[in-house]
Amino acid sequence: MRKGKRGMNYYSTRDNTLRRTASEAILQGISEEGGLFVPQEFPAVDLAALMDLDYCALAAKLLSLYLTDYSEAFLQKAAQTAYGGARFSGKTAHLVKLEDGLYSMELWHGPTCAFKDYALQLMPLLLTEAKRINRDETKTAILVATSGDTGKAALEGYRDLPGIEIAVFYPDHGTSEMQRLQMATQEGKNVHVFAVKGNFDDAQTGVKRVFTDAAFAEECAAAGKRLTSANSINWGRLAPQIVYYFAGYFQLVRTGALALGQEADFCVPTGNFGDILAGYYAKRMGLPVRRLICASNKNNVLSDFGASGVYDANRPFYKTTSPSMDILVSSNLERLLCHESGDPAMVSGLMGALTKEKRYSIPASLQERIAATFDFGCAGEEACSEEIARVWQQDHYLADPHTAVALSVARAKRCGQVPCIVLSTASPYKFSGAVLRALGQNAGEDDFADLAALEQLTGVPAPAVLRQLREKEIRFDEQIEPEQILSVARAL
């Protein structure tokens, strides 16, 4: 691969002698020694010049600063395809005022009703273009283990793209019925969906085993096939998420809640640390962000880390009503440690400890640096459900459990001087049962009955794509054992 090309280059969190262009980093996904690709610099922006751009133009402009080997014309067209027209119902980074100083930025008006659409509507276009730029004619096989939202968003993003096949594996009985149907009814010629017997870990372990199977890797190389994943360790998934921080901030300025240059806080419901890390990039580029508040659910490994400087994944795993945050190893934290320490050798040591002992401890100086930007908090199941009820009664706002975790943490952390934007990551109707129960109602076995009951109770319309799922044809209902994932991958 070319080294030291002009424009933005990327190095690895575990090796700062590596150099990759943006398209190479996106094609490769993860660095050969296991590190994640990070940009060498944080490009500075002129806020006034960006302020009046629409979402597509803003996305193209910000991405062009990082993806310097992609043409501006391509990025403009890709942003238009991903975010323009009716894709997000005209509601990109839709900001709703709840109370003075407290806002919800709804990121779930895309095709799958979760914020992952922002990354996964664009990422496939970036990957296809990366293949073209690098004259890579291999066939791409994408394997995704999912607990729900990622799988559907990836299927929608990659469907019918030439040269790409995608297979998604979800735990049998491990997703909500709505999430299962979203995947089971997926359209497209290059999509494959399987229920794996066992829990999410069994599905994920099965997929990881395929990725690390040396004999299979040789087989793929011989067949001109490249295996890749669709999770948020890929730079191409992270970069598009920077955009909505700018878009949300500019809306505050436009409504007069802030003067351009005054600071805002962002509070983010966090799992793999990808979404909140995009906010960190926005801040380093010059967006006036005072604090980034990292909200965890009952699986509070991150808030413990914030308080102690010790990351300890040796703990029970809880299944909660905010399943997309049920994560014990937040992969993207590695990127933050690298940027704030400037020391990939140290990061490499910490990640080695994480693999071996499921635990690492950072130096006090690094902990202080992180604390200068980040605040950490958690909300357990009860706090989450109380928040759903409170924000409905007080502000007449319907929040899903992930958003409610962040709202609860934001309320606890607010100082009142600086407006706070809470990232709302999923439609409440993806989790109708949990929301109904939080509002003191009974919820049943049937997600569609729950959806109808929640609509009736609140008068808030459910997204049509969820309501219509009931009528769609089931295309995939095959159950497999985790050991069969390899033969699925072989057939792609």
Ligand X SMILES: *Cc1c(COP(=O)(O)O)cnc(C)c1O
**Residue 411 binds ligand X (CB under 6 A):** no
Which residues fall within 8 angstroms of residue 445, CB to CB, at 6 or more apart? none
Asked about 298 being catalytic, the answer comes back as no
Q: Which of 270, 320, 385, 408 binds ligand X (CB under 6 A)?
A: 270
| Amino acid in the structure at residue 468 | Q
Q: Identify the residue among 324, 348, 385, 432 touching ligand X (CB under 6 A).
A: 324
- Footprint on residues 284-323 left by ligand X (CB under 6 A): none
**What single string gives the DSSP state of each residue in 359-409?**
EEE--HHHHHHHHHHEEEEE--HHHHHHHHHHHHHHH-----HHHHHHHHH
Two tokens, residue 166: 């995608």
* Number of residues binding to ligand X, judged by CB under 6 A: 16
**What does residue 360 show for φ and ψ, rounded to 5 degrees?**
-150, 165
Give the residue with the Cβ less far from ligand X, 277 or 420: 277
Active-site entry in 91, 97, 116, 430 = 116
Q: Report phi then psi at 101, rounded to 5.
A: 80, 0
Identified binder of ligand X from the candidate list 124, 206, 274, 482, rule CB under 6 A: 274
Query: Count of CB atoms within 10 A of residue 51's CB?
Result: 14
Euclidean distance between the first and the last CA atom of the chain, given in angstroms as a whole number: 27
The minimum distance between CB 114 and ligand X, in angstroms, equals 5
Is-contact 306 375, C-beta < 8 A? yes
- When the beta carbons of 9 and 324 are compared against ligand X, the nearer one is 324
- Asked if 232 touches ligand X (CB under 6 A), the answer is yes
- If we measure between CA atoms, which residue out of 201, 17, 108, 200 comes closest to residue 401? 108
DSSP result, 408-466: HHHHHH--SSS-EEEEE-B-GGGGHHHHHHHTT----S-HHHHHHHHHHHH-PPPPHHH
Which one of 426, 439, 454, 462 is in contact with ligand X (CB under 6 A)?
Answer: 426
- The single residue among 200, 273, 281, 392 that binds ligand X, judged by CB under 6 A, is 273
402 lies in the binding site for ligand X (CB under 6 A): yes
CB of 45 to ligand X, least distance (A): 23
Residue whose CB is less far from ligand X, 299 or 425:
425
CB 327 to ligand X: min, Å: 7
Residue 313 three-state SS: coil
Residues in 133-192 at the binding interface with ligand X, rule: CB under 6 A:
149
22 binds ligand X (CB under 6 A): no
From 297, 294, 319, 301, select the one nearest 380 (Cα to Cα). 297
CB of 324 to ligand X, least distance (A): 3
Find the binder of ligand X among 275, 387, 447, 450 (CB under 6 A). 275
- 234 near ligand X (CB under 6 A): no
Active site residues: 116
Interface positions with ligand X (CB under 6 A): 114, 116, 149, 232, 269-275, 324-325, 402, 425-426
